[in-house]
Amino acid sequence: MTAVTPFHPAHQHLSELDSRYVDVSQIPWKPTPTPGIEMKVLMQDEESGLLTALFRWEPGTQLPLHEHVEIEQTYVLSGSIVDDEGEVREGDFVWRPRGNRHLARSPNGALVLSFFLKPNKFLEGEHAGKELK
């Protein structure tokens, strides 16, 4: 099995077919390449790029122009995320098709749950040409 929940030592002793119960409060917030956005990785498979994570956006944060290499799904738990196509608010869901490009921002902050099949590819900023992992 290549999927794991990083920083969750209780999972180290489970067999390949055991369910993974995740105590999210015990997972540390980690910085992302974008200042003002932190993440808790709930599940990832580095080999395939699959990722499920909580993202905490500080008010005024902006994520540089990026492309979704595969479908991305985001559910907003609190706050909102805005781009040129619209705004996704608390309790709402947005998904973006492969190839979608946008610059996202959170004027008032947000807490979101996101699902990625492959990491985003950044097109602008200091992380241009890199994938968010």
Please give the average per-residue pLDDT across 63-79, as a whole number.
Answer: 90
As a whole number of angstroms, the distance between CA 107 and CA 56 comes to 13
Q: Is the sign of the CA dihedral 115, 21, 9, 46 positive or negative?
A: negative
Q: What global pTM score does this model have? A: 0.83
- Fold classified for 9-122: Jelly Rolls (2.60.120)
Query: Which two tokens mark 12?
Result: 């180290």
Per-residue pLDDT, 133: 43
3-state secondary structure of 70: coil
Question: How do the domains of the chain map onto residue ranges?
Answer: 9-122
- Residue 123's pLDDT band (boundaries 50, 70, 90)? low
Is 41 in contact with 28 (CB distance < 8 Å)?
A: no
For residue range 25-69, what is the model confidence (pLDDT) as tens digits? 989 999 998 899 999 999 998 888 888 999 999 999 998 888 888
